[in-house]
Structure 1
Amino acid sequence: MSAVSATSAAAAAPSSIWGGLDGPADRADILIVDDLPEKLLVFETVLGDLNQNLVFARSGADALRQILRRDFAVILLDVNMPDMDGFETATLIRRYKRAAHTPIIFITSYADEMQTARGYSLGAVDYIPSPVVPEVLRSKIRVFVELHILQRRIARQAEERVALAASEAALRLAEESTRRSSLLAGLSHALSGVLDLRQGIHALLTHVVPALAANATVALVDERGVVTHAATRSSLFEDDAASVELSPSALPSAHFALLREALEAPADAPARTANFVDGALQMLPLIHGDRFIGGLWIDGELTALSAALLDEVAARAAIAFATASLYGALQVEIAERRQAEARLEEASRRKDEFLAMLAHELRNPLAPIRNAVELIRLAAPAEAKVRWAADVTDRQVRQLTRLVDELLDVARISQGKVVLQTQCLDLVTLVTQAIDSQRDMLHKRHQTLTLSLPDKPVNLNGDATRLAQVVNNLLSNAIKYTPEGGAISVSVAHEPGGPGEFALLEVSDNGIGIDADLLPHVFELFEQGKRALDRTQGGLGVGLTLVQRLVQLHGGEVVATSAGAGQGSQFRVLLPCLGDVEEPVAPERSEQLPAATVARRILVVDDNVDVVETTTMLLSLSGHQVRSAKDGLQALHIATEFRPDVVLLDIGLPLMDGYEVARRLRQTPQTAGALLIALTGYGQQGDRQRGRDAGFDGHMLKPVDPHALAKMIEG
């Protein structure tokens, strides 16, 4: 698409102002800025009937170049563009004198109050949502075009009247005016679109020497007054009066003295904008707004024409240099922002690695503890105190495992790595099972539970495992923060809302309540109320964060309320509800698995001695023939002779990791058909996929449930 499109004559009858247009010269220029070619094509199609000159720009920088070249009746500016967005572009546009009051209409697919206020502060006259409505866009653009044409006609008429009154003077000054206009036009054209300071300095010196002066020097300064760029040019130089770049320290002392004088003058002093003279040397300050940019030095006498033109030359150069400086600063800011984003991505990657390693390191010691508990139960089932100790240990291992899983779940949800496995579920059945799993804790704390459930199922589309986490976390939270002998209530109901129904789950208690200061932050990660030194209400502050994010993944919401400290609390969960379903799927209950029916040859490979010994003992007590290895090389050697039916293989092994061991076992005839099960602390999706690629049949996280392991071995 060309940068400028002169539209064909409109078929519809134009307004009264447009009806008197004489031809293409009377058309107004409309600037359309968008980085997407297809959107520019849409604007060309929609605005084609206006019979005006459409000028297209694909970026903020391109728009600035167009602004330097022509006056526009109106500017259509896309907010979301790469490198330089619409607001940044508008900020730079407003710094040009010719575009200081040009109407700007922002095109955006989204605009909140803050964004809208920012746009209007930059002089925006309107916001048009994308995709645009053709009739609305054309009518709004038509208003500004008519106003621009009318102003241009008035200006033209005024110029004609002045021209008639001063025709004799104009004839006398025609030659001088032509030279002046030609030089300024050439300078403006050379400086338009220049966003590199060195190129701008060269263009300025080329137009000043020798046309206006025999010798000229330009120097630019930063906000502290330190010279950053300098160059000189003389008609006495050979090589077609080429510009010579100077280092800041090479600026002549006389030039530097005038520069220092200008820098030390008050910003609002009239002398600040006047020429600074030292004999035949004079300096024209380059000022844009209230910012001192640098100086243009002229060495030698000036003609009347030169003196009149230099002020205008300096003014135009200052605008060009200011734009280039702003663009350079913006590019630096963009580069810094990208570096910051890269650092954040790297920090996120390191955090993921840390969480994975943390989970592995925490699960490793939990695995032999859980195995030892099961061994104690098998070895001394009749001793009450031993059973009690084993039960306590088992509960605490499960609690530690749950904390590790919750921490990793929150991280995975934040990164969008959790995919729900949805099916039709009955919330009533799911809540009932959660309460059954918590009854021992309720009984131990002598707490009363009031349950209110509807007579018929409350069906919803959800992930059974994840929704069970929601219910269990809310219920265990109520039990934990309600004193012994307290009361807890759980209810499920249908809640009307909007076009459909919602399933409402409420968990209330008369416990310690939530302080008003904490209530707005109760779902934030690691956020808790003031903790006592005895840690009776301990935890990581992860459970409620996980509840909120899992509910949101299901399209619902969770709200916490409390009258204050000591007044109890209530959690309300709303989830989209399905209609009547004949046979909703009930969440699976945990069940007691049967003992091993077939003795198998099993090879256990792990560098943790406690894991190897406890796992070997458990499997041996179940009737299996078990061998063990402490690294990959030893495992490969034993497997060739032992010919195991099952290999329980850790991933993080010394010398050779579990993935490589699995690949080699699959390539060895004696173990090619063996059941390979990964027993590991690495449980992220990428770890599981790598395991499948390496040849593993199963992936189990430490600490492994002995019953689940037995079931997998049984096949």
Structure 2
Amino acid sequence: MNGLLDGDTPPPLEDRANILIVDDLPEKLLVFETILEDLGQNLVIVRSGSEALREVLRREFAVILMDVNMPGIDGLETARLIRGYRRSAHTPIIFVTAYADELQTSQGYSLGAVDYILSPVIPDVLRSKVRVFVDLYIMQQRLQQQALERIAIARAEAAQRAAEENTRRSIFLAQAGRVLADSLDADVGMRRLLALLVPRFAPRALLWLRDTGRGHERVLRCDAPAGQPETPIYTEGREDVLSEVLYSSTRDALEALAAPDARCDEGSPSGQAMPRCDTGHGVVLPLVTGERVLGGLLLCDPHRPPDWPTLEELAGRAAIAFENARLYGALQAEIIERRQAENSLLEASRRKDEFLAMLSHELRNPLAPIRNAVEVMRQLGAASDARLGQSISVTDRQVKHLTRLVDELLDVARISQGKIVLKTETVDLTELVSQGLEPVQPLIASQDQTLVVSMPEGPVWMRGDGARLIQVVTNLLHNAAKYTGPQGRIELTLSTNEAGIDLMVRDNGRGIEPSLLPHVFDLFEQGPRGLDRTQGGLGVGLTLVQRLVELHHGTVRAHSAGPGQGSEFHVHLPVPQQDEVPAASVAPALAAAAPGGWADKPRATPARACRVLVVDDNRDAAESMAVFLELAGFDTAVELDGPGAIQHCAIGTPRVVLLDIGLPGLDGYEVAQRIRALPAMADALLIALTGYGQMDDRRRAHEAGFDVHLVKPADPDAVVDLIEEWRLRDQAARETAPQTEAQADGQTDGQRDGDMRAVAS
């Protein structure tokens, strides 16, 4: 069958079968080789049983041709040993012998021999018998190879099907993940999940969520459409009978899953919680993230064995999406709640600031006539009566104290609204400290306290707002004086070093409680007070100190060893750059801008020819100011509303107008604009007298045509000085050489801007 004919090509080496020839006689081996070489197979020739055993261990043979009688290990023993190897247990063995009795033949066949050939051999018989076993071996090898190939093909096809299924599952799950994660609205996610399940996995499904992020549960059922082009049917809630039954089934199944004795499903890894359970209506898959059960998914009457790995993975991704939606909903609710709280706080803060500003304005209105009346009484010779003079002094001090409280309230409102703008210049802090001492001296003297001031002999320069820094010094000293008892000691120290400027105010008074110390700079914060409130105040002074110091890029700290141990306030301010230090002192300019500067300047005797119009809807304020100006030598008139003021200016043409902003009907801004429009009033002095003193109020006053902006209660002496200074400047301007109208207007505007800056400082 596989013998080679003349001209045939022998098979490749890798396709040839191995034939083992075992004989101790060389001549016989030569005969066997000659006879069998026509088969075209691989002949392996050995001369002993031991060599045969070695070859059997090395390779596999189609047939073994072996002599029975050999020295050493004979053929029968060699056959027995060959049969002991697993590889050669069934290899055909043909014995070649010159003599074979029945006993020997029986023994050979028992050892697995397939045939006996008597020697001398007949070539064709030997060749034919060997060929049969070679062909059988080759056929077995081919069948085995084909079986292996079929197994490999089957495995490849199964792997391909599994890969395709995994690919389809991965694509489906990826698309499902994108669809579910695309929206953070739980309601939208529920519809999308059910659309993925029906009718792909089941004709009906029910989804239940415990919390959608809006604080309530949600139940949604989806039924497959009756016709192909129709859309699925969604049923909200569980009002109908079917939804209630399915909902109850889902709840019961989830409780069973959560039970401690719940067993694992066959498809689940050992030791894990059961991922699903069967009910009378279908299969329930819980939606779980971590240890939190978000809800359940019920598949009713699946029409084929469900793809559980896909469903469980889909349930896991859906649970993550719903948890994100729940967290997002809770976050949105928290944000809305927080925003509402912030809006409430902002509204409360806005109302507080508006209240403080309005309170300051409303308090200034009665303060103005009181202060004017005090000055009128003083001018009318109250000094002749000691008791009346004392009463006037008391009233004056209390009005100034009340004015200070009102100013503090307004400053707090301004700082809270970010409306305080510093007028920064190079100032001498020693001069400012000296000016800050003046307002507190009466309080310190009244309590017989000792004030020790230590400052450098030379100037201490820095960049800042002089008026605001004076306010810092005054408030710190005022606070120390309030909380230090009679005959107490207050120390003020001003020093400089490379790190900056240090201002220290120390007292030996009541001290500060440890619990209060971190809050001493908080708004309206005060220490324990008795019912008599002998210290007074609103609890805003230190707040102003801290915020004004911070506006100057400095810091302020408070220290106290405890009650009865006194307190210490340390202000640190930055030093100016070298090029910011002036060559000469600017103290005179600061003195003019400081509080009380108007009253300290010598006043020239006014000319009665200067007519002044006072406009205020508060009759007491208007008339008291008019009386004081009359005592100062001015010709005065009073109007109580805007139209009357405009008409008076059109007829009487006063040179100076003191105009209240908060007039009823026509406000002061509109009145000022109309007065400025009158030709005879173009160069008159317009003074805004109002309870509103914020920067925006000053800007609007300037834009309306006012020259000066004064805040109630204005110092009557300062008003007299202001009018007299303007009158002298106006008189000097009229006596100079004639100028063009444009130059005169420009000078008037410049003077007006200068007055505005001087008063604002």
**Corresponding position: 1:557 with 2:552:** no
Distance 2:168 2:561 in 1: 83
Q: Which residue of 1 aligns with 2:172?
A: 183
Q: Which residue of 2 aligns with 1:294?
A: 295
Deviation string 1:630-657 (CA, Å, 9 cap, x unpaired) is: 2223323333322222221212222222
Q: Which residue of 2 aligns with 1:620?
A: 630
| Paired AA for residue 258 in structure 1 | S
Q: Which residue of 2 aligns with 1:663?
A: 673
Distance 1:513 1:420 in 2: 32
Q: Is the 8 A contact 1:422 1:461 kept in 2?
A: yes
Gap regions ≥5 residues in structure 1: 1-162
Q: Residues 149-160 of structure 1 correspond to what in structure 2 (within 5 A)?
A: none
Q: Which residue of 1 aligns with 2:706?
A: 696
Q: Which residue of 2 aligns with 1:597?
A: 606
Q: Is the 8 A contact 2:428 2:460 kept in 1?
A: yes
Distance 2:584 2:221 in 1: 85
1:711 is aligned, of 693, 706, 721, to: 721
**Corresponding position: 1:528 with 2:526:** yes
Q: Which residue of 2 aligns with 1:384?
A: 386
Segments of 4+ moved more than 6 angstroms:
163-166
1:458 is aligned, of 456, 460, 474, to: 460
Q: Which residue of 2 aligns with 1:227?
A: 217
Distance 1:519 1:344 in 2: 25
| Paired AA for residue 478 in structure 1 | A
Distance 2:470 2:370 in 1: 26
Q: Is the 8 A contact 2:237 2:243 kept in 1?
A: no
Distance 2:526 2:461 in 1: 33
User: The residue matched to 2:591 in structure 1 has which SS?
Assistant: coil
User: The residue matched to 1:588 in structure 2 has which SS?
Assistant: helix
| Paired AA for residue 228 in structure 1 | R
Q: Which residue of 2 aligns with 1:202?
A: 191
Distance 1:654 1:343 in 2: 32
User: The residue matched to 2:503 in structure 1 has which SS?
Assistant: strand
Distance 1:197 1:369 in 2: 68
Q: Which residue of 2 aligns with 1:52?
A: none
Q: Is the 8 A contact 1:483 1:511 kept in 2?
A: yes
Distance 1:511 1:174 in 2: 87
**Corresponding position: 1:442 with 2:433:** no
**Corresponding position: 1:396 with 2:405:** no
Gap regions ≥5 residues in structure 2: 1-151, 264-272, 727-761
- Inter-CA distance 166–603: structure 2 relative to 1 (3 Å threshold): farther
Q: Is the 8 A contact 1:377 1:387 kept in 2?
A: yes
| Paired AA for residue 184 in structure 1 | L
How many residue pairs were aligned? Answer: 549
Deviation string 1:72-95 (CA, Å, 9 cap, x unpaired) is: xxxxxxxxxxxxxxxxxxxxxxxx
Measure how far apart 1:358 and its partner are.
Answer: 0.6
Q: Which residue of 1 aligns with 2:246?
A: 255
Q: Which residue of 2 aligns with 1:95?
A: none
| Paired AA for residue 451 in structure 1 | V
Distance 1:287 1:234 in 2: 26
Q: Which residue of 1 aligns with 2:426?
A: 424
Distance 2:253 2:671 in 1: 77
**Corresponding position: 1:640 with 2:631:** no
Deviation string 1:15-48 (CA, Å, 9 cap, x unpaired) is: xxxxxxxxxxxxxxxxxxxxxxxxxxxxxxxxxx
Q: Is the 8 A contact 1:596 1:710 kept in 2?
A: no
Distance 1:682 1:365 in 2: 14
Measure how far apart 1:213 and its partner are.
Answer: 1.7
Distance 1:310 1:450 in 2: 86
Q: Which residue of 2 aligns with 1:607?
A: 617
Q: Which residue of 2 aligns with 1:355?
A: 356
| Paired AA for residue 254 in structure 1 | V
User: The residue matched to 2:384 in structure 1 has which SS?
Assistant: coil
| TM-score normalised by L of structure 1 | 0.71
Q: Is the 8 A contact 1:512 1:568 kept in 2?
A: yes
- Inter-CA distance 538–266: structure 2 relative to 1 (3 Å threshold): farther
Measure how far apart 1:436 and its partner are.
Answer: 4.2
Distance 1:406 1:574 in 2: 22
* Cα-Cα RMSD: 2.9
Deviation string 1:103-134 (CA, Å, 9 cap, x unpaired) is: xxxxxxxxxxxxxxxxxxxxxxxxxxxxxxxx
**Corresponding position: 1:468 with 2:486:** no
| TM-score normalised by L of structure 2 | 0.67
Q: Is the 8 A contact 1:273 1:287 kept in 2?
A: no
| Paired AA for residue 208 in structure 2 | A
**Corresponding position: 1:566 with 2:564:** yes
| Paired AA for residue 541 in structure 2 | G
- Inter-CA distance 350–164: structure 2 relative to 1 (3 Å threshold): farther
Q: Residues 258-273 of structure 1 correspond to what in structure 2 (within 5 A)?
A: 258-262=249-253, 264=255, 267=258, 269=260, 270=262
- Inter-CA distance 566–198: structure 2 relative to 1 (3 Å threshold): closer
Distance 2:569 2:309 in 1: 78
Distance 1:474 1:225 in 2: 54
**Corresponding position: 1:509 with 2:512:** no
- Inter-CA distance 583–173: structure 2 relative to 1 (3 Å threshold): same
Distance 1:178 1:565 in 2: 78
Measure how far apart 1:703 and its partner are.
Answer: 0.5
User: The residue matched to 1:249 in structure 2 has which SS?
Assistant: coil
Measure how far apart 1:308 and its partner are.
Answer: 4.4
| Paired AA for residue 247 in structure 2 | F
Distance 2:565 2:678 in 1: 66
**Corresponding position: 1:344 with 2:345:** yes
Q: Is the 8 A contact 2:524 2:539 kept in 1?
A: yes
Larger Rg: 2
Distance 1:564 1:216 in 2: 72
| Paired AA for residue 371 in structure 2 | R
Q: Is the 8 A contact 2:254 2:286 kept in 1?
A: no
- Inter-CA distance 225–373: structure 2 relative to 1 (3 Å threshold): closer
| Paired AA for residue 251 in structure 2 | R
- Inter-CA distance 237–365: structure 2 relative to 1 (3 Å threshold): farther
Q: Is the 8 A contact 2:357 2:409 kept in 1?
A: no
**Corresponding position: 1:414 with 2:400:** no
